[in-house]
């Protein structure tokens, strides 16, 4: 059920305008004139200080319409109202960043209008940011906020947790609404977002924060009676969907692509940045970013070049740390273009993301990524490539030779962050051994070979005890029990067959193999060797699986896990060397592991179940999932199972589109599963683009 605003003692009067419904208290005007704040919306009390619009150039053209924006970082816009906006859910924790009470916001008759862009808060100055980007490796020219709308910067309220301000020294939180209509950067789109994409962004923004991974935040998601047409799977089956809007919160939403507006004409695509030649704006933007968000660097470096090098070094460090954290929870962003990389090193822009279920280094969460450019295993290298493009965009403020020197440290930084996290996940706390890298590598290979669930396998490791001085029979039994524990997370034979089925038609594959031999130039224009190699590997694995039985697969899995567990327990025994209190060491190890290996992540099926319920008018599952994700490392009594198991995309009575446009899943019945379960069979049908 949707959150409903409680009526105040004064009866609200509804005044209707085209495409917007506005609620005002009949007595509000009198109250305001008397100087009483009792009727004011809490959102009207936010204190804005919109520094970005004062320090960065604004587009002088304020006319609506899509256009190239030259010599400016922002364009003023007018968010377009939606009909009957109402809350799907709010994040109390995220709203607290702005000094807002979630309950107070939910009970405010005006809040859904303000947080959907249908009504403008006092002090807000709606604008859209101009940026460019390399998309799938190609420079795309001007992009910009095609659906997001900067509302302004809210001053940090007194008493904010200092921990939250460690990487936000600006003293302000930028707030955006995403899905509030067209901007000069909307291109061929309408600037709207729908319920499914808005719920996914809302939930994942908060999920990442509570996993301890730097991220933009989401304060609310609002839906409405306004409709847009969307072709969900790009297959010609379009349908009407509800316009929905997410409130996004971050110190800033500036990104790598913000600095690419100055790019000269690209040799490959022929496109150039709209502000090419305006080097003074690049310097202006760099001064703003460093001064506001990296003040220690600003204070510690008098020389401009040294300052800029130090800034780039810190961006490299934060980016390496971020992608290492992604890898350690099995998160795949899906669209790691330069315009989706935050200048602060936080996760931004949640589109076709995915948390891995069965471990697969070639995991691709975005069904549109045919080449696997943004696969799970490619993310560390892609982030380095994006950093290289940022360095190019900062030239001449950042000399290329010095940028290259900084980039040489990226891989070592990434590996250091990655292994630091992995040692915690494996409970290797007392010592750092050279063999640890191989132990992690062999674990992941065993998980891949056996189709083990990424999240649940790591979570289970804390149940494997450190070996004490045991006889051989006891040790053998301990290994056997540990093996049985991890076998529960392995895929069945049928699941492995489905996972290894080539995505390419055999005839197409044969044609490409022939083309690679006869006409390599043409082959590289339409495919690549990595894609072909991946398909051939799948075919080989599938052939082996087709010739195996369930019993043979289990025996093979037992052998693989037994070998790794013996190595792991041997390494754990080294942790106890010199420890007088073994029980205390075991307890500490389990505690660290259980706070490093989440019990629950936002798997696609969990998000989809909440979306399906919401599309049928039941918002309680979205709210419930948020509560679960706020404490991902612990079991919350009463929150083990979903309360709503939605039937996908059931049409509402007032919808009139052709019934042939239904895109429901073939599964119409679903049994509720605990949030920490491996995904159900129907989850294989989920396609995110």
Task: Give 598-613 pLDDT, tens digit per residue.
Answer: 999 999 999 999 999 9
Percent of the chain with pLDDT over 70: 91
Q: Which residue has the higher pLDDT, 510 or 133?
A: 133
- Read off the pLDDT band of 7 (50, 70, 90): very low
d(CA 310, CA 217) in angstroms, rounded, equals: 27
- In whole angstroms, give the CA distance from residue 386 to residue 258: 13
Annotated catalytic residue within 59, 339, 612, 676:
339
pLDDT tens digits along 314-328: 999 999 999 999 999
- 233-238, Cβ contacts within 8 angstroms, sequence gap of 24 or more: 233/663, 233/687, 233/689, 234/689, 237/660, 237/661, 237/662, 237/663, 238/661
Tokens read off for 342: 């935050």
* pLDDT at residue 162 in the model: 83
- Rounded to an integer, the average pLDDT of 59-78 is 95
116 or 653: whose pLDDT is higher? 116
19-28, 318-327, 584-593, range with greatest mean pLDDT: 318-327
Q: What average pLDDT does the segment 479-501 reach? A: 95
Candidate from 46-55, 473-482, 528-537 with smallest mean pLDDT: 528-537
Q: What is the mean pLDDT of residues 340-361?
A: 97
Count of H helices and E strands in the chain?
23, 14
Q: Which stretch of 27-36, 398-407, 527-536, 615-624 has the lowest confidence by average pLDDT?
A: 27-36
pLDDT at 35: 43
Overall average pLDDT of the 326-338 stretch: 98
Average pLDDT of the chain, as a whole number: 90
Residue 526: pLDDT band (50, 70, 90) is confident
Q: Average of pLDDT values for 190-197?
A: 97
Instruction: Give the closest residue to 178 by CA, choosing from 245, 79, 111.
Output: 245
Enter the DSSP assignment of 465. P
Res 647 pLDDT > 90: no
Decide if pLDDT at 6 tops 60. no
Whether 263 and 277 have beta carbons less than 8 Å apart is answered as: no
Residue 163 binned pLDDT confidence (cut-offs 50, 70, 90): confident
Q: Which residue has the tokens 């301890």?
A: 212
Distances (CA, A) of 362 to 359, 377, 448, 468, 492: 9, 6, 10, 38, 19
- What would the two tokens of residue 235 be? 């297959």
Does residue 406 surpass a pLDDT of 50? yes
Q: What is the pLDDT of residue 20?
A: 38
400-407 vs 304-329: helix crossing angle, rounded to 10: 30
Burial 578-611 (b: 16+ CB within 10 A, else e): eeeeeeebbeebbebbbebbbbbbbbbbbbbbbb
What pLDDT does 505 receive? 83
pLDDT above 70 (res 667)? no
Task: Inform me whether the pLDDT recorded for 3 exceeds 60.
Answer: no
Q: What is the mean pLDDT of residues 346-369?
A: 96
For residues 177 and 117, what is the distance between their CA atoms, to the nearest angstrom? 7
pLDDT attached to residue 662: 39
Q: What is the spatial distance between Cα 387 and Cα 393, in angstroms, rounded to a whole number?
A: 10
503 Cβ partners below 8 Å, 6+ apart?
535, 538
Q: In angstroms, how far is CA 230 from the centroid of its own chain? A: 22
Q: Residue 528: what pLDDT?
A: 81
Q: Is the pLDDT of residue 519 over 90?
A: no
654: pLDDT confidence band, cut at 50, 70 and 90? very low
- Once rounded to an integer, what is the mean pLDDT over residues 272-299? 97
- Distance between CA 257 and CA 406 in Å, rounded? 20
- Per-residue pLDDT, averaged over 331-339, amounts to 98
Peptide linkage before 513 cis (omega within 30 of 0):
no
Q: What is the pLDDT of residue 470?
A: 65
What is the per-residue pLDDT for 648? 63
* Confidence check: pLDDT of 82 > 70: yes
Does residue 658 have an active-site annotation? no
State residue 492's pLDDT score: 95
Which of 344, 350, 101 is closest to 201 using CA atoms? 350
Confidence band, pLDDT 50/70/90 cuts, at residue 194 = very high
Burial class (CB in 10 A: 0-12, 13-18, 19+), 274: buried
- Alpha carbons 91 and 86: distance in angstroms, whole number: 15
What pLDDT does residue 645 have? 72
Statement: residue 660 has pLDDT above 90 = no
1: pLDDT confidence band, cut at 50, 70 and 90?
A: very low
């Amino acid at each position: 059920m949707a959150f409903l605003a409680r009526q105040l003692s004064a009866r609200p009067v509804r005044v209707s305008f085209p495409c917007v419904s506005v609620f005002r208290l009949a007595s509000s005007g009198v109250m305001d004139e008397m100087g009483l704040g009792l009727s004011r919306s809490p959102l009207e009390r936010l204190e804005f200080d919109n520094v970005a619009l004062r320090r960065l150039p604004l587009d002088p053209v304020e006319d609506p319409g899509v256009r190239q924006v030259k010599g400016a970082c922002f364009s003023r816009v007018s968010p377009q109202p939606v009909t009957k906006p109402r809350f799907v859910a709010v994040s109390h924790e995220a709203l607290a960043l702005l000094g807002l009470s979630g309950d107070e916001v939910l009970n405010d008759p005006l809040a859904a209008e303000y947080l959907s862009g249908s009504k403008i808060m006092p002090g807000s100055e709606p604008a859209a940011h101009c940026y460019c980007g390399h998309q799938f490796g190609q420079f795309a020219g001007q992009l910009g906020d095609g659906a997001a709308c900067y509302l302004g910067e809210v001053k940090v309220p007194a008493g904010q947790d200092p921990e939250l301000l460690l990487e936000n020294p600006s003293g302000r939180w930028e707030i955006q609404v995403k899905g509030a209509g067209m901007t000069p950067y909307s291109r061929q789109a309408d600037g709207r977002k729908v319920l499914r994409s808005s719920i996914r962004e809302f939930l994942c923004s908060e999920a990442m924060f509570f996993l301890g991974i730097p991220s933009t935040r989401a304060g609310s998601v609002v839906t409405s009676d306004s409709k847009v047409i969307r072709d969900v799977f790009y297959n010609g089956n379009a349908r009407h969907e509800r316009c929905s809007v997410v409130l996004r919160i971050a110190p800033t939403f500036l990104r790598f692509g913000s600095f690419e507006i100055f790019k000269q004409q690209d040799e490959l695509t022929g496109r150039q940045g709209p502000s090419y030649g305006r080097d003074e704006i690049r310097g202006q933007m760099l001064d703003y970013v460093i001064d506001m968000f990296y003040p220690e660097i600003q204070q510690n470096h008098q020389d401009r070049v040294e300052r800029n090098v130090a800034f780039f070094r810190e961006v490299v460090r934060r980016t390496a740390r971020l992608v290492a954290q992604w890898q350690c929870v099995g998160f795949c962003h899906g669209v790691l273009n330069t315009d989706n990389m935050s200048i602060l090193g936080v996760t931004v822009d949640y589109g076709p993301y995915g948390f891995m279920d069965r471990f697969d280094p070639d995991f691709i969460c975005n069904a549109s990524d045919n080449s696997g450019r943004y696969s799970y295993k490619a993310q560390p290298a892609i982030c380095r490539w994006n950093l290289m493009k940022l360095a190019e965009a900062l030239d001449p403020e950042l000399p290329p030779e010095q940028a290259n020197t900084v980039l040489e440290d990226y891989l070592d930084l990434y590996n250091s962050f990655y292994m630091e996290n992995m040692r915690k996940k494996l409970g290797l706390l007392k010592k750092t051994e050279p063999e640890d890298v191989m132990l992690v590598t062999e674990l992941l290979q065993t998980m891949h070979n056996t189709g083990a669930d990424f999240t649940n396998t790591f979570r289970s490791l804390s149940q494997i005890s450190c070996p004490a001085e045991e006889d051989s029979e006891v040790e053998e039994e301990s290994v056997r029990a540990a093996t049985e524990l991890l076998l529960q997370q392995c895929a069945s034979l049928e699941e492995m067959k489905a996972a290894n089925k080539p995505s390419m038609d055999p005839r197409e594959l044969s044609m490409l193999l022939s083309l690679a031999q006869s006409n390599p130039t043409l082959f590289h224009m339409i495919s690549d060797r990595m894609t072909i190699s991946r398909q051939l590997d799948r075919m080989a694995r599938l052939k082996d699986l087709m010739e195996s039985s369930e019993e043979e697969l289990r025996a093979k899995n037992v052998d693989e896990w037994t070998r790794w567990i013996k190595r792991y327990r041997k390494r754990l025994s080294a942790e106890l060397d010199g420890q007088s209190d073994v029980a205390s060491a075991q307890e500490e190890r389990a505690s660290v592991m259980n706070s490093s290996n989440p019990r629950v992540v936002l798997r696609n099926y969990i998000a989809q179940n909440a979306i399906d319920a919401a599309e049928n008018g039941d918002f309680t599952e979205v709210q419930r999932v948020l509560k679960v994700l706020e404490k991902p490392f612990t079991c919350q009594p009463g929150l083990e199972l979903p309360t709503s198991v939605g039937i996908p995309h059931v049409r509402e009575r007032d919808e009139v589109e052709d019934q042939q446009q239904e895109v429901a899943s073939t599964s119409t019945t679903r049994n509720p599963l605990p949030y920490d379960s491996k995904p159900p069979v129907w989850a294989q049908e989920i396609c995110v683009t």
